[in-house]
Structure formats: structure tokens, C-alpha cells
């Protein structure tokens, strides 16, 4: 997390005196994100499992019937629309930034196509590609989403390892290099996430291994 804080400070040109506020921003955002994700998991599990198998978005909307009655489909549609707008803005942008930062291309949403052709091309191309995929007739969207999230989960331990190695690089991080406590927490998180990902892969490949 410290690596992301310092990277954000350097990228935005934030003075060192405001480093504390940047840390507060990252820490509070992380806490709220984890809390929201936890409530999403708990609510989804309580609403859908085990009596509401979800094969289509309509199945998910109907699972809210007891809660919202005739407004369940409207409620689900509004939530899905909001999540889609957020994802459409964040995911292509973060991908475009990540690729351009890695290879040193000009980047920024304030840059025009002529100023940052690679960045704008990646950003625009990802949005168009996403739209085209969702328009495929008969696409099992729920299954596609589950597969994509499983792939994301499988990549997390690898990304975390590289982030920890970077944040322990004194030449890169200077006095903000990870300390012993942060390293214990970081490597403990990597081990825990790796175990969870391995369990996910095993139960996906061998669905009956955990029993009925």
C-alpha cells in the first residue's frame, strides 16, 4: 500500500508535506472498499445461496423479489447500470495507465489523441471491445463474469509478490521502504490469498471434492 501511496504522490506532483493526507486517502479508501466488498459477499450469499441458482441476470433480479417485491428488477437494473458505468470508466483507464506507465508512453485523460495516441487508443479500444463482447447473441454473461473474476483472483498472488518486492526496494522507496511489521502483514496476506486461490482452483476443477 505504501508503494501505491508514494507512486500516487509522485505521479500527481503532491508536495511531501501532503504525504500524510495522501496516506489517509489511500487507507480510508481501502477500508471502505473492503467493507463494501464484504457486505456484497454476505448479502449475495444470503440472497442467492443455496435456493437461487443464478444463470442469467434475470435470475439475480428475481432473487431480490422477497426484499423489493415488484421493484426487484428495477432495483437490480439500477444497481447493474451504476456498476457498469463505474467499471467502464475505471477498468479501461487503469489498464491504459498501467500499460503506458510500464512502457513510458505519454498518458493522461487530459491528453488528446495526438498528444497520447497509445493511451487514448488503448482506452477507447477496450471500451469498444467490451461493448462488442456484450452484444454477442446468447452470451452466458454470468458464467463469463465468474470466469473473469476467477482469472483475476489467480493473478492476485503474483501481483502482490511483485508489489512487495518493489516496496522493499530501498533505492526506489527511500525512507518509505517497508518495515518488519508491514512485511509480516504483506507476506501473510500473500500466503492467505494464495491458499484461497488454490482452494478456488481445486474446487472448480474437482467440484465434488468438498462434498455436497
Q: pLDDT tens across 165-198, in order?
A: 988 988 887 887 888 998 999 899 899 989 988 8
Are 73 and 61 contacting, i.e. CB atoms less than 8 angstroms apart? yes
What pLDDT, on a 0 to 100 scale, did the predictor assign at position 4?
A: 47
Point out the residues of the chain with pLDDT beneath 50. 1-13, 212
Structural domain of residue 160, as residue ranges? 140-212
What pLDDT, on a 0 to 100 scale, did the predictor assign at position 187?
A: 92
Say how far apart CA 120 and CA 114 lie, in whole Å. Answer: 9
Does residue 162 lie within any of the structural domains? yes
Say how far apart CA 169 and CA 191 lie, in whole Å. Answer: 20
Tally of domains within the chain? 1
What pLDDT, on a 0 to 100 scale, did the predictor assign at position 8?
A: 47
Are 107 and 96 contacting, i.e. CB atoms less than 8 angstroms apart? yes
Does residue 193 lie within any of the structural domains? yes
Does residue 131 lie within any of the structural domains? no
Say how far apart CA 14 and CA 6 lie, in whole Å. Answer: 10
Residue bearing cell 477507447:
124
Does residue 205 lie within any of the structural domains? yes
What pLDDT, on a 0 to 100 scale, did the predictor assign at position 49?
A: 67
Does residue 175 lie within any of the structural domains? yes
Does residue 149 lie within any of the structural domains? yes
- SS3 of 175, please? helix
Question: Which residue in 114, 119, 115, 80 sits closest to 96, CA to CA?
Answer: 119
Terminal Cα-to-Cα distance of the chain (whole angstroms): 39
Does residue 27 lie within any of the structural domains? no
Question: Which residue in 31, 28, 22 sits closest to 4, CA to CA?
Answer: 22
Does residue 210 lie within any of the structural domains? yes
What pLDDT, on a 0 to 100 scale, did the predictor assign at position 176?
A: 78
For every residue of 40-94, DSSP letters joined together read: HHHHHHHHHTTT---SSHHHHHHTTHHHHGGGHHHHHHHHHHHHHHHHHHHHHHH
Say how far apart CA 118 and CA 116 lie, in whole Å. Answer: 6
Residue bearing cell 493522461:
108
What pLDDT, on a 0 to 100 scale, did the predictor assign at position 76?
A: 77
Are 130 and 122 contacting, i.e. CB atoms less than 8 angstroms apart? no
Amino acid at each position: 500500500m505504501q508503494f501505491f501511496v508514494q507512486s500516487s504522490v509522485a505521479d500527481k506532483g503532491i508536495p511531501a508535506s501532503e504525504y500524510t493526507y495522501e496516506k489517509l486517502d489511500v487507507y480510508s479508501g481501502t477500508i471502505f472498499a473492503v467493507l463494501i466488498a464484504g457486505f456484497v459477499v454476505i448479502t449475495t450469499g444470503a440472497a442467492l445461496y443455496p435456493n437461487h441458482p443464478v444463470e442469467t441476470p434475470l435470475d439475480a433480479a428475481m432473487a431480490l423479489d422477497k426484499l423489493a417485491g415488484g421493484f426487484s428488477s428495477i432495483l437490480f437494473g439500477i444497481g447493474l447500470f451504476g456498476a457498469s458505468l463505474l467499471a467502464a470508466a475505471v477498468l479501461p483507464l487503469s489498464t491504459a495507465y498501467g500499460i503506458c506507465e510500464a512502457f513510458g508512453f505519454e498518458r493522461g485523460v487530459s491528453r488528446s489523441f495526438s498528444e497520447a495516441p497509445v493511451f487514448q487508443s488503448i482506452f477507447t479500444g477496450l471500451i469498444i471491445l467490451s461493448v462488442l463482447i456484450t452484444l454477442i447473441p446468447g452470451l452466458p454473461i454470468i458464467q463469463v463474469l465468474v470466469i473473469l473474476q476467477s482469472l483475476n483472483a489467480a493473478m492476485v498472488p503474483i501481483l502482490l509478490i511483485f508489489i512487495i518486492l518493489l516496496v522493499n526496494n530501498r533505492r526506489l522507496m527511500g525512507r518509505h521502504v517497508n518495515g518488519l511489521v508491514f512485511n509480516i502483514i504483506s507476506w501473510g496476506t500473500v500466503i492467505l490469498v494464495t491458499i484461497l486461490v488454490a482452494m478456488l482452483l481445486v474446487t472448480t476443477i474437482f467440484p465434488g471434492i468438498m462434498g455436497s
